[in-house]
């Protein structure tokens, strides 16, 4: 384990050093046409909002194109072109194309607008000026405001292949988290022993309080890494990422089986909430309720923002999990989403 920790530390240092080196290279090559953005330019916005990624020209070559590309995370190893313009006309590409446009506040403005942000819009974007052999580019980062939650199969611990983990998160109004999202969640207090898939096919788990059952007490807090794993043969849990939602989560009381909980939500013009929707309501709307309630996946949970003894007794806020009880023999309330 000491060896694994040393390898992780070395890999982290190498990645950081590479990033700094690449940035220094770009700075050393003075931009002629594009304005250099602030160091590590990052824009954060919630799901569903509209944002602008700034890209400004300081001079216009006679003939040129500006190409916006989503470079991270890669999808199937391919950079995704979002939009291309020649200064007069523009054309969108891929899944982002219909929601992408140029701001065009003035003649030197090549900033990219993205409307109705989705979870998968999170990542790094390149604004590239194509001018014969004098291509220049700047990189900006878009971060979707949200949270990471661990997710386990109803069949138990470590039952998901990579694709199954991805589908499980999608089914809970979420996506597989990125490493950056998991790291941010760790800094905000996520401490979890079970390893889970991330969207790049690697497996990790975040530890704030080292302990024997979570890799050993002698290791420092951090993100434990299993590295890349076989996406079809290896099985783990999932770390899912969600954000704000357009609707509301509310509790329906009663002694309900799972089928009765489904009916109770339908009678109120709603449906049983997904796990991601419950986490979102807890984090962004302060949902606080002591009673366990059925969710869409057949699990029973309840959200606590103000910890107290009669609500589980745990000292920290969070979404408490009762697991996946028998759907006909166990009776709870229901958390509905409308």
- Of 32-41, 95-104, 266-275, least confident by mean pLDDT is 32-41
Q: What Cα–Cα distance (Å) separates residue 192 from each residue in 3, 186, 237, 291, 300?
A: 21, 9, 11, 23, 19
109 vs 36: which has the higher pLDDT: 109
- Of 28-37, 127-136, 208-217, least confident by mean pLDDT is 28-37
pLDDT at 310: 87
Calculate the average pLDDT of the chain. 89
Rounded to whole angstroms, how far apart are CA atoms 168 and 153?
8
Tell me how many degrees the CA angle 299-304-306 measures, rounded to the nearest 5. Answer: 170
The pLDDT confidence band at residue 74, using thresholds 50, 70 and 90, is low
213 vs 257: which has the higher pLDDT: 257
181-198, pLDDT tens digit by residue?
999 999 999 999 999 999
pLDDT at 23: 45
CATH topology for the 152-241 domain: Mannose-Binding Protein A; Chain A (3.10.100)
* Same fold: 32-144 with 249-337: no
Is-contact 172 146, C-beta < 8 A? no
Rounded to whole angstroms, how far apart are CA atoms 190 and 6?
22
100-123, pLDDT tens digit by residue?
999 999 989 999 999 999 999 999
Is-contact 251 334, C-beta < 8 A? yes
**Which of 144, 142, 79, 140 is closest to 118 using CA atoms?**
144
Q: Is the pLDDT of residue 210 over 90?
A: yes
The pLDDT confidence band at residue 20, using thresholds 50, 70 and 90, is very low
- Of 19-33, 195-209, 302-316, least confident by mean pLDDT is 19-33
Phi then psi dihedrals of residue 35, to 5 deg: -80, 135
Rounded to whole angstroms, how far apart are CA atoms 332 and 128?
55
CATH of domain 249-337: 3.10.100.10
15 vs 163: which has the higher pLDDT: 163
316 CB burial (10 A radius; 0-12, 13-18, 19+): exposed
Q: 3-state SS string over the chain?
A: CHHHHHHHHHHHHHHHHHHHHHHHHHHHCCCCCECCCCCCCEEEEECCCCEEECCEECCCCCCCEEEEEEEEEEECCEEEEEEEECCCCEEECCCCHHHEEECCCCCCECCEEECCCCHHHCEEEEEEEECCCCCEEEEEEEEEEEEEEEECECCECCCECHHHHHHHHHHCCCEECCHHHHHHHHHCCCCCCCCEECCCCEEEEEECCCCHHHCCCCCCCEEEEEEECCCCCCCEEEEEEEECCCCCEEEEEEEECHHHHHHHHHHCCCEECCHHHHHHHHHHHCCCCCCCEECCCCCEEEEECCCCHHHCCCCCCEEEECCCCCCCCCCEEEEEEC
Percent of the chain with pLDDT over 70: 89
Distance of CA 325 to the CA centre of its chain: 28
User: In the chain, what are the domain boundaries?
Assistant: 32-144, 152-241, 249-337
293 vs 24: which has the higher pLDDT: 293
The pLDDT confidence band at residue 9, using thresholds 50, 70 and 90, is very low
Residue 156 burial (CB count, 10 A): 10
Phi then psi dihedrals of residue 176, to 5 deg: -60, 130
State the average pLDDT over residues 315-319: 93
Residue the block writes with tokens 């309630």: 293
149 CB burial (10 A radius; 0-12, 13-18, 19+): buried
Q: Is the pLDDT of residue 30 over 50?
A: yes
Q: Does domain 32-144 have CATH number 2.60.40.10?
A: yes
Residue 21 burial (CB count, 10 A): 10
pLDDT at 131: 86
pLDDT at 60: 86
């Amino acid at each position: 384990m000491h060896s694994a920790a040393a390898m992780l530390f070395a890999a982290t240092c190498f990645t950081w050093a590479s990033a700094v080196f690449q940035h220094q290279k770009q700075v050393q090559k003075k931009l002629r046409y594009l304005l250099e953005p602030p160091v590590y330019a990052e824009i954060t916005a919630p799901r569903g909002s509209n944002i602008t990624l700034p890209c400004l020209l300081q001079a216009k070559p006679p003939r040129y194109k500006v190409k916006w590309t989503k470079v991270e995370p890669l999808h199937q190893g391919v950079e995704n072109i979002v939009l291309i313009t020649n200064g007069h006309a523009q054309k969108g590409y891929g899944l982002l194309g219909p929601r992408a446009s140029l701001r065009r506040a003035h003649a030197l403005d090549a900033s990219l607008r993205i409307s109705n942000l989705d979870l998968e819009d999170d990542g790094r974007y390149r604004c590239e000026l194509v001018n014969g052999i004098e291509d220049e580019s700047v990189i900006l980062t878009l971060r979707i405001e949200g949270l990471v939650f661990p997710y386990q199969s109803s069949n138990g611990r470590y039952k998901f292949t990579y694709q199954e983990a991805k589908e499980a998160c999608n089914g809970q109004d979420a996506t597989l988290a990125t490493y950056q999202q998991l790291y941010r969640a760790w800094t905000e207090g996520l401490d979890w022993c079970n390893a889970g898939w991330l969207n790049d096919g690697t497996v990790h788990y975040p530890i704030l309080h080292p302990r024997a059952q979570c890799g050993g007490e002698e290791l420092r807090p951090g993100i434990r890494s299993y590295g890349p794993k076989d996406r079809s043969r290896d099985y783990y849990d999932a770390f899912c990422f969600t954000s704000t939602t357009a609707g509301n989560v509310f509790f329906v009381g009663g002694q309900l089986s799972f089928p009765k909980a489904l009916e109770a939500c339908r009678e109120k013009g709603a449906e049983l909430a997904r796990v991601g929707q419950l986490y979102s309501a807890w984090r962004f709307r302060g949902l606080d309720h002591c009673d366990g309630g059925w969710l869409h996946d057949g699990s029973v949970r309840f959200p606590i923002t103000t910890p107290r003894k009669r609500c589980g007794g745990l000292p920290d806020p969070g979404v408490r999990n009762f697991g996946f009880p028998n759907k006909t023999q166990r009776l709870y309330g229901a958390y509905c989403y409308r």
